[in-house]
């Protein structure tokens, strides 16, 4: 199988890339290296395709997605201080970047898109452990944009409609944005 790991030079992404390579999969990484490091991929650098680019670029997303079966979408601005000093960029990367990936995934007939939600969506609620029925109460721009992208399903529907109108196969509906609850650390 061929996987695209966005944010593959970051903390979670680089571990996923190592695991996928070890399991014999083809791996493409799309990362702008704004926070991630090439060194995180040192053990697998000769066995992956690395694209330095941004999820804000529809063209980069298209190029990275070509021929992929699955996408693990982890490109994001994850720093709360950075999201506070530059909320517009954080919002763009974390939400518009996700929509770009969903659209590219649809065009490429990708089977499934998976990304990690964040418990920061639930703020400082005393009700623990968090669960997805809780009302979102994000307390930072990072948390707000993380929350927004877990609501990306309408964009998935739109992607399908755009594809249909463009004459692409309309019966490919397997692009599913799944908000995975992060581990307890999240
Ligand atoms: N680490 C955690 O405990 C945790 C908890 C909950 C959710 N998450 C989520 O998991 C995902 C990955 O988190 P992480 O801890 O690995 O973060 P990270 O900051 O280590 O990795 C993010 C990667 O995205 C890249 N990136 C940033 N902007 C980009 C852009 N415009 N285009 C392409 N790449 C870009 C960075 O260079 C970096 O390599 C994020 O969506 C985060 O919200 C993480």
Is 3 one of the catalytic residues? no
For 167-178, write each residue's pLDDT tens digit. Answer: 544 332 333 333
Contacts of 74 (CB under 8 A, 6+ apart): 5, 6, 7, 8, 10, 12, 13, 16, 115, 116
**Alpha-carbon torsion (7, 9, 15, 17), positive or negative:** positive
Determine if ligand 1 sits within 6 Å of the CB of residue 56.
Answer: yes
What does 53-81 look like in DSSP terms, one character per residue?
Answer: --TT-HHHHHHHHTT-SEEEE------HH
Substitution site in 78, 120, 178 for ligand 1 pocket (most atoms within 8 Å of beta carbon) = 78
Q: How far is the CA of 176 from the centre of ligand 1 (A)?
A: 20
Give the separation between CA 71 and CA 88, rounded to whole angstroms: 25
For domain 2-180, give the fold.
Rossmann fold (3.40.50)
CA separation for the pair 129, 179 (Å, rounded): 16
pLDDT one digit per residue (tens) for the chain, 186 residues: 999 999 999 999 999 999 999 999 999 999 999 999 999 999 999 999 999 999 999 999 999 999 999 999 999 999 999 999 999 999 999 999 998 999 899 889 999 888 888 899 999 999 999 888 899 999 999 999 988 888 766 666 776 776 666 554 433 233 333 333 333 233
Write the residue with the smallest CA distance to atom 7 of ligand 1.
118
Q: How far is CA 35 from CA 32, 104, 124, 140, in A?
A: 8, 23, 26, 19
Position of tokens 């199988």? 1
Distance CA 99, CA 24 (A): 29
Going from N- to C-terminal start, the domains of the chain cover 2-180
**Pocket of ligand 1 contains residue 184 by CB under 6 Å:** no
């Amino acid at each position: 199988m061929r996987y695209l790991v966005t944010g593959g030079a970051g903390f979670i992404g680089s571990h996923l890339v190592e695991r996928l390579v070890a399991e014999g999969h083809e791996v493409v990484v799309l990362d702008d290296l704004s926070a991630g490091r090439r060194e995180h991929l040192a053990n697998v650098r000769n066995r992956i395709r690395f694209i330095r680019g941004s999820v804000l670029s529809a063209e980069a997303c298209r190029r990275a997605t070509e021929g992929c079966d699955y996408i693990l979408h982890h490109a994001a601005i994850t720093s709360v201080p950075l999201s506070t000093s530059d909320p517009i960029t954080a919002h763009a990367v974390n939400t518009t970047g996700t929509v770009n990936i969903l659209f590219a995934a649809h065009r490429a007939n990708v089977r499934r898109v998976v990304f990690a939600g964040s418990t920061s969506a639930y703020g400082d609620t005393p009700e623990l452990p968090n669960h997805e029925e809780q009302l979102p109460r994000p307390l930072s721009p990072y948390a707000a944009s993380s929350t927004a992208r877990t609501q990306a399903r309408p964009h998935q529907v739109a992607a399908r409609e755009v594809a249909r109108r463009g004459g692409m196969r309309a019966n490919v509906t397997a692009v599913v944005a799944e908000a995975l609850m992060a581990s307890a650390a999240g």
